[in-house]
Amino acid sequence: MSALIEIDRLSKRFGAFTAVDDVSFAVARGEVLGFLGPNGAGKSTTMKMLAGFVTPSAGTARICGEDVVERPVAAKKHLGYLPEGAPTYPEMTVAGFLGFAARVRGYRGSEAADRVAHAMRLTTLEGVRLQPIETLSKGFKRRVGLAQSLLHDPPVLVLDEPTDGLDPNQKHEVRRLIGQMAPTKAIIISTHILEEVSAICTRAIIIARGRVLADSTPAELSRRGPSLDAVFRELTMAPRPAPEAA
Amino acid sequence: MRTALTIARRELAGYFATPVAYVFIVIFLVMTGALTFTLGNFFNRGTADLQPFFGFVPWLFLFLVPALTMRLWAEERRLGTIELLLTLPVTQGQAVLGKFLAAWAFCGIALALTFPLVITVNYLGNPDNGVIATGYIGCLLVAGAYLAVGAAISALTKNQVVAFVLAVAVCFVFAAAGSPVVTEFLSVRLPVLAEIARGVSVTDRLSGFSRGVVALRDIVFFASFIGFWLFANAVAVDHRKAD
């Protein structure tokens, strides 16, 4: 099956600093890719380029075959994206905000209402639907962002730290939701939490200093050392990319 | 266009969800009223028209419109929602147009709320309501021109104070370019520039409208002025969106 997400020699330079350096990989339907790396490794920048927010210095990415640089609007139609920190308009109500996202995506009338209701059901937001987003707790805000990214049932989901700031129960809920959707979608999630990768990802990529250092299944990665933690530290702390340990 | 209108609707609702809208409208109404009746010498002029009002509106807009536009993109940056907005399937142009239309509609609402002045002159005398209508159209176009300038500048800087000061300065250049002080000075020293200065002057264009003259060239001027700045805005957003 052809990949829904193709990242093709993507690079991003900010002045003399190279944030993302010649990164290539592909994600097929049914895969949940965990994107791991220390802070500043280039995870978010790669995701922002994939979402069409940051313009790549070189290379490109394709979502469902649509080039994000050349046909950005077409590519974004297939994409559900949760930006880092899940930004939302604070003065809007949950229903108002999701309704806006639905209308921008071209849904009207009862179809828009159905989409919003469905997204709220998936993320259990019905109880707060008429509350302004600024009055909600961090966990709810995160779920509003998540609901926005799921609204149009996209084949490709890119979630930048979807469980950051959630309590253990909420983390569990989000992971369960991702697991549920996994068979029909190609999903990339970035995270700092290594246990999360073992729990929900079918594949893990470790990135540091803008380069891909490892691309494997979580199980295989943890077999390289005493634990996934140790493997992660060894790979990302090394001044040069560590030689691939068997 | 439908996408731009969806964005505009959200923006406009956003104005009224915060104190911005109410402060703006109240200050605008108090100032226009006060200036028209005191400095404008409304009662002693002995004519039933809104000339003094239309004379003050562009100068009020000079300060109030940049106050409206300074947060237009800076706020999206601060909240991070610019990343959300621009990763939805919208073009930069639609986002720029949507924000502009919302701000313009808002200025239209503020202008419409000065209707008691129209009722007053109609009660006191027999004004030419056609001239009043064209005067309002002219004011709306001036607001649009300042908005387009302010919005483009707001896309260039993260700092709202910088956006405000720069927008006032640039709008002032276009407002003052047609004033006698500037044109007389230039026509003595640099006659070529004097013509250009009059040509780009926003207030000079408005004087036709407030006399009841709607000239095609003035409409074309405002349309291309707004179009140019909106285009600059889209380029600026595209260039600096992720900074």
ipTM of the prediction: 0.88
> Quick one: which of A196, A193, A138 has its CA closest to A166?
A138
Question: A229 CA to chain B: closest CA distance, Å?
Answer: 31
Which helix or strand (DSSP H or E) is residue A51 part of? none
Chain A residue numbers with beta carbons less than 8 Å from the beta carbon of B17 are 91-92, 132
Enter the tokens of residue B176.
């003052």
Report chain B's mean pLDDT, rounded to a whole number. Answer: 88
Q: What percent of chain B shows pLDDT beyond 70?
A: 99
pLDDT at A155 over 90: yes
pLDDT at A244 over 60: no
The Cα–Cα gap between A60 and A128 comes to: 39
Enter the tokens of residue B152.
């483009």
pLDDT at A213 over 60: yes
Domain locations in chain B as residue ranges: 2-240
Report DSSP state, residue A222: H
pLDDT at A232: 83
Q: Contact A92/B17, CB-based, under 8 Å?
A: yes
Q: How far is CA A141 from CA A59, A85, A96, A134, B85, in A?
A: 34, 9, 14, 8, 16
Give the pairing of strands A186-191 and A203-208: unpaired
Q: Contact A87/B81, CB-based, under 8 Å?
A: yes
Chain A residue numbers with beta carbons less than 8 Å from the beta carbon of B83 are 48, 51, 53, 83, 87
pLDDT at A221: 82
Size of interface A-B (CB pairs under 8 A): 69
Average pLDDT over every residue of B213-230 = 92
Per-residue pLDDT tens digits for A53-78: 999 999 999 999 999 999 999 999 99
Chain A residue numbers with beta carbons less than 8 Å from the beta carbon of B2 are 106
What are B's interface residues with A at a Cβ cutoff of 8 A? 2-3, 6-7, 10, 13-14, 17-18, 79-81, 83-84, 86-91, 238, 241-242
Chain A residue numbers with beta carbons less than 8 Å from the beta carbon of B14 are 89, 91-92
Give the mutation candidate from A103, A104, A134, A160 for the B interface (greatest B CB count, under 10 A).
A104
Split at pLDDT 50, 70, 90, the class of A186 is very high
What is this structure's pTM? 0.89
Split at pLDDT 50, 70, 90, the class of A220 is confident
Enter the tokens of residue B90.
């919208």
pLDDT at B132 over 80: yes
pLDDT at A10 over 70: yes
Nearest CB neighbour to B6, from listed A76, A81, A104: A104
pLDDT at A242: 47
Q: Which residue has the tokens 């419409």?
A: B112
Enter the tokens of residue A198.
């073992």
HEC profile for chain B? CHHHHHHHHHHHHHHHHCHHHHHHHHHHHHHHHHHHHCCCCCCCCCCCCCHHHHHHHHHHHHHHHHHHHHHHHHHHHHHCHHHHHHHCCCCHHHHHHHHHHHHHHHHHHHHHCCHHHHHHHHHHCCCCHHHHHHHHHHHHHHHHHHHHHHHHHHHHCCCHHHHHHHHHHHHHHHHHCCCHHHHHHHHHHCHHHHHHHHHHCHHHHHHHHHCCCCCHHHHHHHHHHHHHHHHHHHHHHHHHCCC
pLDDT at A145: 93
CB B67 within 8 A of CB B100: no
Please check whether residue A236 touches B, CB under 8 A.
no
Average pLDDT over every residue of B194-219 = 83
Per-residue pLDDT tens digits for B17-69: 888 889 999 999 999 888 888 877 777 777 777 888 888 888 899 999 999 99
Q: What are phi and psi of A7, to 5 degrees?
A: -110, 125
> Quick one: which of A2, A10, A52, A1 has its CA closest to A205?
A10
Domain locations in chain A as residue ranges: 1-78+160-246, 88-153
pLDDT at A245 over 50: no
Chain B residue numbers with beta carbons less than 8 Å from the beta carbon of A145 are 84
Q: What are phi and psi of A156, to 5 degrees?
A: -120, 130
Average pLDDT over every residue of B124-128 = 86
Question: A5 CA to chain B: closest CA distance, Å?
Answer: 16
Q: Contact A100/B10, CB-based, under 8 Å?
A: yes
Average pLDDT over every residue of A207-228 = 85
Q: What are phi and psi of A24, to 5 degrees?
A: -135, 135
Is CATH 3.40.50.300 the classification given to domain A1-78+160-246? yes
The Cα–Cα gap between A86 and A174 comes to: 14
The Cα–Cα gap between B39 and B57 comes to: 13
Per-residue pLDDT tens digits for B97-118: 999 999 999 999 999 999 998 8
Enter the tokens of residue A178.
């991702």
Question: B234 CA to chain A: closest CA distance, Å?
Answer: 14
Average pLDDT over every residue of B186-190 = 79
Please check whether residue A141 touches B, CB under 8 A.
no
Q: Contact A89/B14, CB-based, under 8 Å?
A: yes
pLDDT at A62: 93
Question: A232 CA to chain B: closest CA distance, Å?
Answer: 29
pLDDT at B113: 94
Split at pLDDT 50, 70, 90, the class of B176 is confident
Split at pLDDT 50, 70, 90, the class of A246 is very low
The Cα–Cα gap between A147 and B31 comes to: 45
